[in-house]
Amino acid sequence: MTPAMDLDPATRLVALVGNPNSGKTTLFNALTGLHHKVGNYPGVTVEKKEGRVSVDGRLAFTLLDLPGTYSLHAQSPDERVATDILLGRTTHTPPPHLVLCAVDATNLERNLYLVTQVVDRHLPLVVALTMSDLAKDQGVCIDARTLSRHLGCPVVPVVAQKGEGLEALRQAITSVSLTNGHRPPWCATDALHREWESVRDHLHRVSHVPLPLASHEAIELLSSPEALAERTDRHDPALASLLRASVEKLDYLGIDRQSAFVESRYTWIRAVLASAVSSPDHARARLTDRIDRIVTHRVWGFLIFLLVMATMFQSIFSWATIPMEWIGSAFEALSAFVTSMLPPGDLRELIVHGAIAGVAGVVTFLPQIVFLFFFLGLLEDSGYMARAAFIMDKLMSKVGLHGKSFIPLLGSFACAIPGIMATRTIDNPKDRLATILVAPLMSCSARLPVYSLLIGAFIPGTLLLGVFSVQGITLLSLYLFGMVMALLMAWAFKKTFLRGAPPLFIMELPAYRLPSLRTVLYQVWERSLAFLKTAGTIILGVSILLWALTAYPKVSEDAPRSAQLEQSYAGRAGKAIEPLIRPLGFDWKIGIGLISSLLQREAFVSAMATIYNVRGPESTGDGRTVYDAMRDDRDPSTGMPTFSVLTAVSLMIYYVLAMQCLSTVAVVRRETNSWRWPAVQIGYMTALAYGITLLVYQGGSLLGWGG
């Protein structure tokens, strides 16, 4: 027997598996601290998290956090990744040397189902009993020793949030023997066992499948013989006839092949639990019960849901603006510093107006991303997210999606990129695609600067009923409008080219628990970093390009920047598209704004600032703000204001619906693995934006609102 410590710690791979909501992530964070990196599995869009764990100050092993799964009978891309790595079916990740299984102590029976499947894999195994403090509180008494004897592996109770049991767990992982083979603990009925053995042996001997994998695949084949069609050895006539004979025999005996395998595992689990666990008759979370009575109530439930949403938006829209201003002034100071250090010229312009302005444009949104993911993290970790799905599922089912799609759509309010990334939890590819396609219709935080500029300039700040400002209501309406359009389009897609069977919606409602601040903050940290990376790199390049488009060709050194802009490539393009956007009520200056924000919406604001030759909405350099400049601007030929309230509203509607975001295009391309879907998305969104804006502006003009 090789003791585990003999293997080079740098290459020693431990896979962490567990059910969703089993406290796996908290355990992962507690074990690895900040020493982890996040990436993607090649070819698929499932997040890969790896961390290094030290014992006694020395690197002991690498911990790989596999996506949460209820079973190794995978049904979603996430679960397939976990299953394939555990079964050694992939080439991108070597099979782990050891498996660490997170088992929720408050939900032992169902969590142990996955454990029995992992045991079949014949890999060294350590079980961590998570949330064992909660189990104790509920009066559940678990004899870890007895459990360990039955499972044939170490069982360590932990309270990851408080760090209890982690040392024992690390020791168990490093000292468990790497060669201890397990025998499948559960036993199928005689007839089933015989057929299973013969299929397994055939796979092992003829198809050369390693024995543990052959055991697993024999079960898969016997429970659903149609799975044979997806195998590489599907043309093996001996396998096909063996399988057919086995299936016939079992069917003749009246054995339900699909349920028989699942049932034999559960029968074994129940026997183990009877000897290792004692729990009171009503061991259930009373607090969760009481909370749910209110949270899922037909009146209070919706009110609480709205309140939660409102708080989240309040945090994004008002609290986040404070750090946003700090970041803004820091960048302003930086560009002032660079301006004073460098001689005037193209280089200074490039750095100040291209690079710094571009980076500032992205980094300014970081506080909103941080706030959103902080809130989403709290909701997820506390268990509320599942209730939100429970409440909203009916509504989502009307458009052919399910409650799980609601969460990515909610996330898209901050930024469609993480929202689209969050669609990975949706099992059905068509539902996932429909959710991805409509996600950018949800008003993201990059639209906020555009909305606030236009609302600030053109919508009166009067109060309705003394509390609700017309500006606030306008903002809310824009968000609602985007949401309604997203649902309508999802419905249209599900009715046409994404038509399919109604999606499966089987989801656990975990017990409420106090969210772990650590887990939430880690998530915020990971997401923020991903946001800066995805958006920052592309946008830095693009903003330099856009700067060049506005800076060349040169007019003369002392011409005002607005004149320069008018003569630039961007200005010419703005004038060139004027005939096209005139029916929408937009002139060439707005055209420049549209073009400069094709790749990044918030660029509209800086384009307006440049056109009107002021620095930003808050700038008071000469007492004039962009608001004043835009309000005072008149069409030289007619003397009419360039912007009417109707123009501003049309423009905002255009921004609600138009794609205008290169980063989203890049993410959709990555998530769908083809250029087809980003193309479809850009196409339908542009058509929608143009069509509806045209309708609103022309309709409004007819009604005489244009003046």
Query: Interface residues with other proteins (CB under 8 A)?
Result: 70-71, 73, 75, 106-110, 113, 223-224, 258-259, 262-263, 266, 279, 283-284, 288, 292, 296-298, 301-302, 386, 389-391, 393-395, 397, 402-403, 501-502, 504-511
Give the amino acid at 312: M
**Beta carbon of residue 186, minimum distance to other proteins (angstroms, whole number):** 14
**Beta carbon of residue 122, minimum distance to other proteins (angstroms, whole number):** 21
Residue among 21, 24, 27 at smallest CA distance from 166: 27
* Residue number, 34 or 506, with CB nearest to other proteins: 506
**Beta carbon of residue 366, minimum distance to other proteins (angstroms, whole number):** 35
| Phi (first) and psi of residue 464, to 5 degrees | -105, 135
**Beta carbon of residue 393, minimum distance to other proteins (angstroms, whole number):** 5
**Beta carbon of residue 260, minimum distance to other proteins (angstroms, whole number):** 10
Task: For residue 349, give the H/E element and its range.
Answer: helix 346-349
* Residue number, 20 or 95, with CB nearest to other proteins: 20
* β pairing state of 468-469 and 277-278: unpaired
Q: How many CB atoms neighbour CB 305 within 10 A?
A: 17
List Cβ neighbours of 468 (8 Å cut-off, separation of 6 or more): none
* Residue number, 503 or 571, with CB nearest to other proteins: 503
Residues present in the chain in total: 707
How many whole angstroms separate alpha carbon 184 and alpha carbon 432?
A: 36
How many whole angstroms separate alpha carbon 414 and alpha carbon 444?
A: 5
**Beta carbon of residue 435, minimum distance to other proteins (angstroms, whole number):** 18
**Beta carbon of residue 388, minimum distance to other proteins (angstroms, whole number):** 11
* Residue number, 137 or 346, with CB nearest to other proteins: 137
* Residue number, 207 or 397, with CB nearest to other proteins: 397
The three-point CA angle 472-476-482 to 5° equals 150
* Residue number, 71 or 452, with CB nearest to other proteins: 71
342 CB-contact burial (10 Å; exposed 0-12 / middle 13-18 / buried 19+):
middle
**Distances 485 to 439, 477, 688 between C-alpha atoms, Å:** 10, 12, 10
How many whole angstroms separate alpha carbon 66 and alpha carbon 52?
A: 15
Say which residue the tokens 């659903």 belong to: 224
* Residue number, 487 or 659, with CB nearest to other proteins: 487
Dihedral of the alpha carbons of 82, 83, 86, 90, in degrees to the nearest 10: -90
* Residue number, 220 or 602, with CB nearest to other proteins: 220
Cβ-contact 48, 39 below 8 angstroms = yes
**Beta carbon of residue 633, minimum distance to other proteins (angstroms, whole number):** 48
Cβ-contact 575, 588 below 8 angstroms = yes
Task: For residue 64, give the H/E element and its range.
Answer: strand 58-65
CA 36 to chain centre: 19
**Beta carbon of residue 280, minimum distance to other proteins (angstroms, whole number):** 11
Task: For residue 697, give the H/E element and its range.
Answer: helix 676-702
**Beta carbon of residue 79, minimum distance to other proteins (angstroms, whole number):** 10
Q: How many CB atoms neighbour CB 543 within 10 A?
A: 25
**Beta carbon of residue 28, minimum distance to other proteins (angstroms, whole number):** 22
**Beta carbon of residue 114, minimum distance to other proteins (angstroms, whole number):** 9
* Residue number, 428 or 600, with CB nearest to other proteins: 428
* Residue number, 110 or 194, with CB nearest to other proteins: 110
29 CB-contact burial (10 Å; exposed 0-12 / middle 13-18 / buried 19+):
buried
* Residue number, 301 or 515, with CB nearest to other proteins: 301
**Beta carbon of residue 14, minimum distance to other proteins (angstroms, whole number):** 25
How many whole angstroms separate alpha carbon 105 and alpha carbon 323?
A: 41
How many whole angstroms separate alpha carbon 443 and alpha carbon 462?
A: 24
* Residue number, 302 or 497, with CB nearest to other proteins: 302
* Residue number, 26 or 428, with CB nearest to other proteins: 428
563 CB-contact burial (10 Å; exposed 0-12 / middle 13-18 / buried 19+):
middle
**Distances 149 to 144, 153, 214, 271 between C-alpha atoms, Å:** 9, 7, 26, 13
Say which residue the tokens 């006694």 belong to: 56
**Beta carbon of residue 275, minimum distance to other proteins (angstroms, whole number):** 17
* Residue number, 148 or 296, with CB nearest to other proteins: 296
How many whole angstroms separate alpha carbon 393 and alpha carbon 405?
A: 9
How many whole angstroms separate alpha carbon 661 and alpha carbon 665?
A: 7
**Beta carbon of residue 301, minimum distance to other proteins (angstroms, whole number):** 5
**Beta carbon of residue 259, minimum distance to other proteins (angstroms, whole number):** 5
DSSP 55: E
**Beta carbon of residue 263, minimum distance to other proteins (angstroms, whole number):** 6
* Residue number, 465 or 506, with CB nearest to other proteins: 506
CA 208 to chain centre: 39
How many whole angstroms separate alpha carbon 38 and alpha carbon 152?
A: 32
The three-point CA angle 204-65-381 to 5° equals 135
* Residue number, 116 or 534, with CB nearest to other proteins: 116
Longest dimension (CA), the chain: 94
* Residue number, 259 or 314, with CB nearest to other proteins: 259
Residue among 413, 321, 327, 337 at smallest CA distance from 376: 413
Rg over CA atoms, the chain: 30
Report whether the peptide linkage leading into residue 157 is cis, meaning its omega lies within 30 degrees of zero: no
